[in-house]
Chains A and B, each alone.
Chain A
Amino acid sequence: MTDSLMMVLPEEILSIGSIVLMLIAAWGGQASTRMISWVAVAVLAGAMIALLGPASSGGVAFDGLFRADGFAAFSKVLIYGATAVSILLAPRFFKQTSGDDLRPEYPVLLLLSACGMGMMVSAGDLLVLYVGLELQSLAAYVLASFMRRDTRSAEAGLKYFVLGALASGILLYGISLVYGFSGSTLFPQIANAYAGIAPGTHNFGLMFGLVFVFAGLAFKMSAVPFHMWTPDVYEGAPTPVTAFFASAPKVAAVGLAVRVAVEAMGPAVDQWRQIVIFASLASIIFGAVAAIGQTNVKRLLAYSSINNVGFLLVGLAAGTQAGVAAVLFYLTVYVVMTLGSFLVVLQMRDADGQPVETLASLSGMSRTRPGLALAMAIFMFSLAGIPPLLGFNAKLAVFNAAMAAGLYPLAVVGFVASVIGAYYYLRVVKVMYFDEPIGDGFPKSGDIVEGGLITVAAVFVSPVGWLVLAPLGLATMAAAGSLF
């Protein structure tokens, strides 16, 4: 029991930390916001340090309910890091936005969400999976409508909640089918049940369960055809929250999908591979085509995230250790690129300090804010997968894994479809570099934290990032190895 408790140390730190901070917030009120934000970041750092211990030992806690393996630890590093950045970039956004202030609940909700996400990627049991998912989702619903006086934000929260609840229902229905036909909620025993299906026969209960579980997971990942909520929620939610949605929960959802696919349903790989390939190509193509007409940067990035989920699923479709390693590598690069892009979006303000979100407002940014424009151009080219930026290496890794698994048509179609995606990323660069500036451009924020984060992200994605390619490759491979 003590061993088990040590293995969930990061989750304990996060839950106790968030409860304590909630109490402080209750008594300290609005004035304590700044302090709570920094303490929350410290709590996340503490949880990350706790990952060094038994939490990444590869052990199994609570009789198989919870996995403390390398895969979970790697995902959690990404999740906690992305959450910390989302906390750091909030204060200035809310300070300059008329109507709503940053409330001390914001970092607390993020901590709870991070705790839920940690459970998702560590789950060894369908119910732990569900509890983690709901903890993450409920915090996210509140965060989406955090700007209470903004109708778009309220709409985003409501949409997210209704559709999210529907998806949870679908997932739960799938879980109940799987449980009913396999007799267990533990992943290894479910895997046995799938392995026990005699070749040539069908077990419709297990197959329906598999389909429903993947449908529910596809919603959480916002993969086509379960992506409808994404653009509206991303557009309506406050920008720091959108940055959060596009990064950490994506890691958690994809990590969860990988774990379920490999550990619980590994023997049924031929069945779920069809679903994953369809969702992958549909996401790549739809995410690219739908983004072409967008004029709002946040919506554009929402479609970009759908597009990227498609590429992530290419790695999952491979279903091999190399494929999972590629997914983790892609997630790492994706989180950096996405957070970087949203950090740039946060700098987009008119003369009064009000946020602007139209693509047109970026016009001529290369003249008014050359550094910022360069960083954004790096993120865009990287998202488009153009070498020598790291986004290319990420795409290369997933397609390499797919090729190794013999999925040639998927690789060819995926590559060709990424040209469509390149078009709208190029459009952002075109607006920034080719168009004439309007007005004086965005006022400089002078915020060291945000500027520093943008610089770090841009340098990481640039060819300088090649230096970390080799160690990152080893780390992802080791992490993926714990699933096989």
Chain B
Amino acid sequence: MSGFPILSLMLAIPTVAAVGCLFLSPSGARWLALIATLVDFVLGIGLWANFDIGGAQWQFVENAGSVGVFDWKLGIDGFALMLIMLSVFLMPICIGASWVAVQKRVQEYMACFLITEVLMIGTFAAQDLLLFYIFFEAGLIPMYLIIGIWGGANRIYASYKFFLYTLLGSLLMLVAMLWMIHYTGTTDIPTLLKTDFPRQVQTWLWLAFFASFAVKMPMWPVHTWLPDAHVQAPTAGSVILAGVLLKLGGYGFLRFSVPMFPEASSQLTWLILALSGIAVVYTSLVALVQSDMKKLIAYSSVAHMAIVTIGLFAFNQQGIEGAMVMMLSHGLVSGALFLCVGVIYDRLHTREIDRYGGLAINMPRYALLFLFFTMASIGLPGTSGFVAEFLSLLGTYQVSTVATAVCTTGIILGAAYMLYLYRRVVFGDLTKDDVRVMPDLSLREIALLAPVAAVVLWMGVYPESFLAPMRGDVATLVARVERAKPAGDSLPTAGHAVIPAAHVEARP
């Protein structure tokens, strides 16, 4: 498949379909969007199948030459592959989730989603700094429209907040990018990854990138746009926001901050650990008192993203792998949880937790799937959440025992708020008449949730499938940052080899 521009094709199909959607009837637009996203998914599988594990770091490289100041240069490594897979996997599910729920301005809605898909794939595949920025930043436009047009009551405030918050962070990053381009004379990301920037400038550059990625991530205290955006966005908007857009921040840290500025990363690890530690505990406590289901899951997202950041800044194989698995796992699980909320929201049109109760009686299939995703969110062994949290915390433990202890507390709180949510919504008596008549999952809804459940289980039972493509890249990254690795406070000492019994007496 070498030489075939599969990445450009994956970008072109949704673009063409998005333009096509504008000229079709509502149902035509739905079908076209579904077909386009499914085709992209199939291409994504082709990408994964042809990805040479252990081969070159950058694969499927395309270079169509210069476009003004930047180059049209695409290529992926294991990280990008996995995140692209996540995007193309969630996208048809998003379209399916909006099949019935979105009835107004369907053509524009589908076009916005397809454009979002293009921009997400582009962000992960870009190998040119400015091209990356363009894809990264352009995602604001469709998301602004999705939240603003199809969102809930307070959608306009949320859309502004989302847009301006993220724009401010990104522009600081752009300044840093321009500086890097002037310093190195290139916009090529693989080259920049091997460049050693001067020590004192690294800190500034790191902080500028941090301003952007921390907002996108989102990290405490700049997370406040997320609950607003989530609550007001339509279900599929929340899925894509939580599922993929939040990963842009983590991907940015992984692709830029850590490998390009290892010394600064090491120097500022305390900042990341402190903010993450606060985020885990604080947002978990906030989640505990929410009365709105979506808001609760949004706050849980912030907590989970904090686990990603501590893993990324662990400077070791386990931590970074854990962070990546956490991104994938959170993308699937929180996406699925938003779908679960969407299912009952479509029936009762409220997200108030107190309006529900006793769903286990009349919606058993729903109760089962919701329980499964709740457990995955908590990190029950056997689900993807466990693999992610375990690896991430294992890696972090080698850097900071305190941060690990704090973040583990957050996981316990996570179990508390998720189980509390589940108890209030699904268990108890079926007392409310309108809840009593709610039908169980339709075939369409099962078709949306079941594949996600299957992948969550797969990732939990056999994470090797997902870790293998990334292993080489993680090793490269760890080797790159090895020289700046901060001294950990856990002070692990090498264990003694098991001493053969015959020589026991010989030891003093």
Contacts and interface: CB of A to CB of B under 8 A. Distances in A.
Interface of A: 366-367, 370, 381, 386-388, 392-393, 396-397, 399-400, 403-404, 408, 411-412, 415-416, 418-419, 422-423, 426, 429-430, 433-434, 466-467, 469-470, 472-473
A310 to B, nearest CB: 15
Contact of B178 (A411, A423, A429, A433): A411
A458 B70 CA distance: 22
Given A426-B163, A473-B69, A381 B141 contact: yes
Contact of A419 (B134, B149, B171): B171
25 contacts: A387-B133, A387-B138, A388-B134, A392-B134, A393-B69, A396-B174, A397-B69, A399-B174, A399-B178, A400-B69, A403-B182, A408-B175, A412-B172, A415-B172, A419-B168, A423-B160, A426-B144, A430-B148, A430-B159, A434-B148, A434-B149, A466-B67, A469-B69, A470-B67, A473-B69
Contact of B172 (A367, A416, A426, A433): A416
Contacts of B174: 396, 399, 415
Contact of A415 (B68, B175, B182): B175
Contact of A470 (B68, B156, B168): B68
B74 to A, nearest CB: 15
Task: Across the A-B interface, give the 5 residue pairs with the lowest CB-CB distance, nearest first.
Answer: A469-B68, A387-B134, A415-B171, A403-B178, A434-B148
Contacts of B141: 381, 386
A48 to B, nearest CB: 24
Given A367-B105, A386-B138, A399-B178, 7 more contacts: A381-B141, A386-B167, A387-B134, A396-B178, A416-B168, A419-B164, A470-B68
B138 A388 contact: yes
Nearest to A474: B68
Nearest to B151: A434
A403 B179 contact: yes
Contacts of B138: 386-388
DSSP class of A's interface residues: helix, strand, loop or mixed?
A: helix
A73 B159 CA distance: 44
DSSP class of B's interface residues: helix, strand, loop or mixed?
A: helix
Contact of B171 (A366, A418, A470, A473): A418
B155 interface: yes
A471 to B, nearest CB: 9
B145 interface: yes
A61 to B, nearest CB: 34
B155 A434 contact: yes
Interface of B: 22, 66-69, 105, 108, 130, 133-135, 137-138, 140-141, 144-145, 148-149, 155-156, 159-160, 163-164, 167-168, 171-172, 174-175, 178-179, 181-182
Contacts of A430: 148, 156, 159-160
Contacts of A400: 69, 178, 181
Nearest to A423: B164
B260 to A, nearest CB: 18
A393 B172 contact: no
A403 B174 CA distance: 11
A1 B140 CA distance: 58
A406 to B, nearest CB: 9
Given A403-B175, A419-B167, A433 B134 contact: no
A9 B171 CA distance: 45
Contacts of A411: 175, 178
Contacts of A412: 172, 175
A323 to B, nearest CB: 14
Q: In the complex, which of the residues B155, B159, B174 has the most CB atoms of chain A within 10 Å of its own CB atom?
A: B174
Q: In the complex, which of the residues B108, B141, B172 has the most CB atoms of chain A within 10 Å of its own CB atom?
A: B141
A272 B134 CA distance: 34
Given A366-B108, A388-B138, A400-B178, A433 B145 contact: yes
